[in-house]
Amino acid sequence: MTGIGLGQLLLALDATMVSLVQAPRGLDLPVSSAALIDSDDVRLGLARAAGSADVFFFVGVTDEDAVRWIGNQVGVPVAVFVKQPSDALVAKAARAGAAVVAVEPQARWERVYQLVNHVLEHHRDRADSQEDSGTDLFGLAQSLADRIHGMVSIEDAQSHVLAYSASSDEADELRRLSILGRAGPPEHLQWIGQWGIFDALRAGGEVIRVDERPELGLRPRLAIGIHRSRPPTFAGTIWVQQGSQPLADDAEEMLRGAAVLAARIMARLAARPSPHVRQVQQLLGLGQGDPGDVSECARDLGLSIDGTGAVIGWDTIGDTDRQARITDVVALSASAFRHDAQVASNGTRSYVLLPQISKTRPVASWVRGTIGALRTELNVELRAAIAAPVHGLAAVAAARAEVDRVLDSAERHPVSFGQVTSLAEARTTVLLDEVVTLIGADERLVDPRVRELKTRDPMLAETLSAYLDCFGDIAAAASWLQVHPNTVRYRVRRIERLMSTSLADPDVRLVFSLSLRAIERPAESAAGTVFRNRHAE
């Protein structure tokens, strides 16, 4: 995967986000990947080799630990990104040959990571005809800014900044905080909302003028909604903050043209993911056709084709409006956990491949922690299924398909699954659910006597279900039904007479049990309770 120069990366991020402290080997070194180092990585020795990434973000790492980490590296990182780097860290990095980039203290690491990866994925070598797709959002923002003499930012439909032009000293607080990934000042957002600006941007494609509010430190702006035509969708907003220099006379006309271009770029990026994402999708079997040459894919991604790994599937429960951000946060967490983690998404699901995993318990712990963090920070609920160990990259696509089977079953019957489950733990539940689902989809496979009993006497059908789920144990079935055992015996004899069969026949019990489960959906049968109780034990 072709990288870009460190200098190009820093220019794209802009002085609002980062500033260069030193670059002992210059700014032309290529950067193609980024990873995070947190305090646990340093403390537990999980990040000793720098070969898996070119630049690293020190998240919550003390200066002392950061200095020690740099000293323990076999390879030399291109750069390390640090908030308020100390003199000792800068000196240590200089001796090692690593550049040091200071990150604005108010910047959210999630935002830095997202923007860096966006730049790496979409600032391609224009000499490569396969990757040349015209300008990108960062290029569009800068070109528009140069043309109309304003500071441009491009946001998605959820008001997350996707790209922006270079900022001057005249950038106001709203622009600066938006770029850093922080919420704008409440009084600013409240004022903008009160005047119906957000509603107007979503409603049509006209340029909106936002007047200056000196008492709020808010400079004048132009804004226009980005609308995709197929299907008709509000995709985001282009904002232009004016500085001391007046905007060009044809600024509104240029802004309308930029909104059209932005819609095309966003549609292209949504339909055609980056080369890295396409390779991960191919490895996971999410692309068209078979996974293809796994060895070639592994080489491009810098992964070993052998060894054991883990595949985790994440499914969003409920509101999926923020799916793109959820995937970004999962990717951020995965990269912090393992620098060689690979992430892809498909609809409401995200997938993480963790190569070279020898112990699965830390994986489950990390998954639970990430679900808890997303619940706290984004107020969203996720369900996860883990396939581990996966033996070699050639088995990854099959493992992802198995994970999907678990998530599909959990989507149909969430009460039967915890928020985190493994493929091995869920095997029986998934197989039974799939068998019953297939039976329920074909009326010919459901015993008509069971359907007739359910319609004629629901109480007897409930007794039959309990009796079968309790393996013919009269006392257990009576306890579940909260009736006397003699009542169960009487009802069982009635059932046998009505259905002209004997429940002592194992084939009859199997067919009746599967038929009952098929017609009881989505209600939960006694077997579901029995299974969960045993599983808990």
For 402-428, the DSSP string reads HHHHHHHHHHH-GGGS-SEEEHHHHHH
Q: Report the alpha-carbon distance of residue 308 to residue 324 in Å, rounded.
A: 29
Distances (CA, A) of 304 to 10, 57, 171, 391: 31, 24, 46, 11
pLDDT at 123: 60
CA angle (180 as vertex; 16, 32 as ends), nearest 5 = 80
Question: In this predicted structure, what is the pLDDT of residue 93?
Answer: 93
Tell me: pLDDT of 495 over 80. Answer: yes
- Classify 250 as helix, strand or coil: coil
- CB atoms near residue 385 (< 10 Å): 28
DSSP β-bridge partners for residue 34: 55
- Give me the pLDDT at residue 82, please: 94
Tell me if 86 sits within 8 A of 68, measured CB to CB: no
Q: Which residue has the tokens 């967490």?
A: 333
Q: How far apart are CA 57 and CA 23, in angstroms?
A: 16
Instruction: Between 52 and 86, name the one with better pLDDT.
Output: 86
Gap between the Cα atoms of 205 and 146, Å rounded: 22
Whether 102 contacts 83, CB under 8 Å: yes
What is the pLDDT confidence band of residue 186, given thresholds at 50, 70 and 90? low
Lowest mean pLDDT among 17-26, 310-319, 494-503, 524-533: 524-533
Q: Tens digit of pLDDT for each residue in 361-419?
A: 889 899 998 898 888 877 888 899 999 899 998 999 999 999 998 998 888 877 778 88
User: How large is the average pLDDT for residues 68-79?
Assistant: 84
Q: Mean pLDDT across the chain, nearest whole number? A: 82
Q: 439 φ, ψ to 5°?
A: -65, -45
- The number of C-alpha atoms within 13 Å of 246 and in the hemisphere containing its C-beta is 3
Write out the H or E segment, with its range, that includes residue 56. strand 55-59
- Say if strands 208-210 and 221-228 run parallel, antiparallel, or are unpaired: antiparallel
Q: Can you give the pTM of this predicted structure?
A: 0.54
What is the reported pLDDT for 38? 78
Q: Name the pLDDT band for 128 (thresholds 50, 70, 90).
A: very low
Kindly indicate the confidence band of residue 267, based on its pLDDT and cuts at 50, 70 and 90. Answer: confident
pLDDT the model gives residue 131: 40
Alpha helices in 36-134, H assignment, sequence order: 39-44, 63-71, 87-96, 109-122
384 φ, ψ to 5°?
A: -130, 145
Confidence of residue 251 (pLDDT cuts 50, 70, 90): very high
3-state DSSP assignment of residue 297:
helix
Whether residue 303 is predicted with pLDDT greater than 60 in this model: the reply is yes
Q: Which of 122-126, 240-244, 273-277 has the lowest mean pLDDT?
A: 122-126
Nearest to 239 by CA among 195, 178, 182, 181: 178
CA 235 to chain centre: 19
Q: What pLDDT does 523 receive?
A: 40
What's the Rg (C-alpha) of the chain? 29
| Residue 526 pLDDT > 50 | no
Return the minimum-mean-pLDDT range out of 39-43, 319-323, 439-443, 450-454: 319-323
Beta bridge partners of 314: 350, 384
Phi, psi of 146 (to 5 degrees): -65, -35
Least confident residue range of 56-60, 327-331, 389-393: 327-331
Instruction: Give 274's pLDDT tier (boundaries 50, 70, 90).
Output: low
pLDDT at residue 528, rounded to an integer: 40
- Percent of the chain beyond pLDDT 90? 28
Per the listing, tokens 């140069």 go with: 146
Residue 1, pLDDT score = 44
**Strand intervals (E) in 333-451:** 342-346, 349-354, 381-391, 420-422
Query: What residue type is 248 in one-letter code?
Result: A
SS3 label, residue 312:
strand
pLDDT exceeds 50 at position 446 = yes
What average pLDDT does the segment 291-299 reach?
75
| Residue 179 pLDDT exceeds 60 | yes
* 62 CB neighbour count, 10 Å cutoff: 13
Section 219-243 average pLDDT: 90
